């Protein structure tokens, strides 16, 4: 069994590196191994699983999914700009302060508070000086080099709270460096007496996972200590590559492990996101009239894109094996449906 596992691992890595299809890569060695010991391999797998429960059976959603709070923190920390909605003081005479949205750049401090460099001549600065209540909206970007991603499907977060000036000298010193690294154009602005750091202190946080799916308020205290996903800014390229080049492998995965019927009503499948614990799939069925989202977990957390590629291709490989009639008890990744179509 150990030799078979090494073989499967090597094939997965080869497929990931070379960009081969799972069937093509696996056929290089699969037939030789299983012709030599087809029943022995499956028997060994079964015997070993009677002694230890399969990893997928032991896994819980908490072990292979980012929490909603971690997802929200990932969006807020990965993005560097957003829309700041303040209360427009120009409407004060009418007694109705309408929301006023403007573009702002920001960095996130260690407590998850967005810090902005605002001009004392900007309308939004005048607004928060009179009424500090504000909301910062930010959304994960799409890859401008491809039309594969839909903006409405990207996760976003709204941070609601009060905007206050940053006055601590030590904090300002640290922010000068952090802000300059994130926004290189701001070097001269930081030195100007007309610009100051302002911080939005979140009181409420609202997270939306994408169009028509998961949306909820996030606990503020948990948000402060949550850890952002390390692959967030790197995963878009792999997401696009899988969607463009691995449709057959994705469909096989859906049929074999997600229970999707491979009939005419299976409209499409797309990878929505990839993180250190797994990937999210959006599956359209009923001739495109119904959309559900699934979580496909990795059996171990990854900390680099190459490891994520390896995990994904191992999943593709097992789906292909199952399709060919080769199965064992611990086959397949941990999966769950976490969002159903709102039009259901």
Across 77-105, average pLDDT = 86
Q: What is the pLDDT of residue 192?
A: 94
Q: Which CATH class for the 68-225 domain?
A: mainly beta
Full strand arrangement of the beta sheet holding 335-339: 268-275, 278-285, 290-297, 335-339
Q: What is the pLDDT of residue 83?
A: 98
Alpha-carbon distance of 44 to 40, in angstroms, equals: 6
> Residues of the chain with pLDDT > 90: what percent?
54
Q: Could you read off the pLDDT of 289-333 as tens digits, one per residue? A: 678 889 999 988 899 999 999 999 999 999 999 999 998 878 889
Q: What is the pLDDT of residue 90?
A: 72
Q: Is the pLDDT of residue 88 over 80?
A: yes
Give Dmax (Cα) for the chain: 86
- pLDDT class for 154, splitting at 50, 70, 90? confident
Q: Is the pLDDT of residue 57 over 70?
A: no
Q: What is the pLDDT of residue 236?
A: 82
Alpha-carbon distance of 106 to 220, in angstroms, equals: 19
**Domain 2-65+233-339 maps to which CATH number in 3.40.50.150, 3.20.180.10, 3.40.50.620, 3.40.50.12170?**
3.20.180.10
Alpha-carbon distance of 192 to 184, in angstroms, equals: 15
Contact between 303 and 276 under an 8 Å Cβ cutoff? The reply is: yes
- The tokens describing 221, both together, are 């205290």
Alpha-carbon distance of 246 to 248, in angstroms, equals: 6
Across 96-109, average pLDDT = 92
Q: What is the pLDDT of residue 51?
A: 30
Q: Is the pLDDT of residue 148 over 60?
A: no
Q: What is the pLDDT of residue 100?
A: 94
User: CB count, 10 Å around CB of 306?
Assistant: 12
Give the predicted TM-score (pTM) of the model: 0.71
Q: What is the domain partition of the chain in residue ranges? A: 2-65+233-339, 68-225
> Residues of the chain with pLDDT > 70: what percent?
75
Alpha-carbon distance of 266 to 260, in angstroms, equals: 7
68-225: same fold as 2-65+233-339? no
Q: What is the pLDDT of residue 94?
A: 62
Q: Is 180 left (phi over 0), alpha (psi -120 to 50) or beta?
A: alpha
The burial of 284, by beta-carbon neighbours within 10 Å (0-12 exposed, 13-18 middle, 19 or more buried), is given as middle
Across 127-141, average pLDDT = 94
Of 96-110, 146-160, 215-229, the poorest mean pLDDT is in: 146-160
- The tokens describing 129, both together, are 């000086």
Angle at 175 between CA 172 and CA 180, to 5 degrees: 130
């Amino acid at each position: 069994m150990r030799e078979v596992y090494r073989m499967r691992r090597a094939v997965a890595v080869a497929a990931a590196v070379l960009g081969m299809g799972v069937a093509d890569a696996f056929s290089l060695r699969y037939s030789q191994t299983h012709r030599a010991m087809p029943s022995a391999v499956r028997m060994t797998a079964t015997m070993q699983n009677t002694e230890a429960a399969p990893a997928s059976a032991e896994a819980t959603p908490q072990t292979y999914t980012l929490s909603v709070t971690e997802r929200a923190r990932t969006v807020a920390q990965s993005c560097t700009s957003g829309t700041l909605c303040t209360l427009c003081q120009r409407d004060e005479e009418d007694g109705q302060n309408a929301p006023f949205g403007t573009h702002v750049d920001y960095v996130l401090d260690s407590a998850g508070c967005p810090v902005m460099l605002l001009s004392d001549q900007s309308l939004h600065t005048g607004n928060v000086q009179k009424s500090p209540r504000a909301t910062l909206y930010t959304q994960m970007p799409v890859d401008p080099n491809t039309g594969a991603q839909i903006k409405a499907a990207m996760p976003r977060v709204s941070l609601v709270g009060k905007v206050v000036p940053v006055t601590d000298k030590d904090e300002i010193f640290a922010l000068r460096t952090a802000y300059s690294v994130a926004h290189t154009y701001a070097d001269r602005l930081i030195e100007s007496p007309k610009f100051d750091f302002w911080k939005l202190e979140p009181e409420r946080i609202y997270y939306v996972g994408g169009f028509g799916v998961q949306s909820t308020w996030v606990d503020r205290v948990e948000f402060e200590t949550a850890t952002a996903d390390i692959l967030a800014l790197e995963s878009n390229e792999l997401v696009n590559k899988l969607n463009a080049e691995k449709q057959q492998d994705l469909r096989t995965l859906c049929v074999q492990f997600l229970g999707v019927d491979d009939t005419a009503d299976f409209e499409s499948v797309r990878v929505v996101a990839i993180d250190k614990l797994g990937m999210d799939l959006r599956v359209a069925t009923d001739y495109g009239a119904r959309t559900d989202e699934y979580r496909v977990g990795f059996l171990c957390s990854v900390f680099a894109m190459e490891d994520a590629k390896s995990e994904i291709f191992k999943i593709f490989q097992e789906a292909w094996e199952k399709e060919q009639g080769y199965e064992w008890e611990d086959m397949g990744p941990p999966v769950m449906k976490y969002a159903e179509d709102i039009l259901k």
